[in-house]
Amino acid sequence: MLKPFTTLLVLCLSLWASGADAASTLERDFEQPINIDADKEFFDLRNNIFRVEGHVIVTQGSLVIHADQLEVEGFGSDENQAELFIATGSPATYSQQVEENVTVTASAQVITYDAATRTLTLTGNAELEQSGSFLKASEITYDLENQVISAKRGDEPGQRVRTSFQPREQQADQGNN
């Protein structure tokens, strides 16, 4: 049930990883079962809402999501109706090893995936990080269909979008010392 959320969350964040190697590493994770641990669960079958609360931990392979609450809306609906996945926390966090010795992390007050628009949104002190490179903003949105990431600053004075890229490691040329 949560696989579309985790799959697309990882695909969004893996943009910062190396293409083919990252894809094969991520595929191994998605072959693993999804485990959800929390203090309590709530099902509203009439309204198709599933919610877990209190020290929520979602794992699938190397993928780990920590949140105060995770809500899934529309999980039992018709195929044409959208599913909405909302992880909230102070902050909600995500991490996954996308290739050997490379982990992508993200955090935000709210992490939302909208299956209808194929959009992932990190809201409230949103951060993405991999190998020392990072993106920080009030809101980060990833349009999965068009592979477009946008970031916005908040309304408070002085808030800005901030990006930092680490230089690539130089490969030593064995022929030249």
CB 1 within 8 A of CB 86: no
- Quote the CA–CA distance of 10 and 104 in Å, as a whole number: 9
What is the H or E stretch that residue 139 is in?
Answer: strand 133-143
CB 126 within 8 A of CB 138: yes
- Quote the CA–CA distance of 67 and 92 in Å, as a whole number: 4
Look at residue 171 and tell me whether its pLDDT is greater than 80.
no
Q: What does pLDDT average to over the chain? A: 76
Write down how long the chain is: 177
Domain 3-164 CATH assignment equals 2.60.40.10: no
Residues of the chain with pLDDT > 70, as a percent, come to: 72
Look at residue 121 and tell me whether its pLDDT is greater than 50.
yes
Look at residue 116 and tell me whether its pLDDT is greater than 50.
yes
Helices of type H across 31-174:
none
- Quote the CA–CA distance of 177 and 161 in Å, as a whole number: 41
50 versus 88: which is more confidently predicted? 88
Taking only the tens place, the pLDDT of each residue in 38-72 is: 999 998 888 888 899 999 998 888 878 899 999 98
The whole model's pTM is what?
0.71
**What letter would DSSP give residue 31?**
T
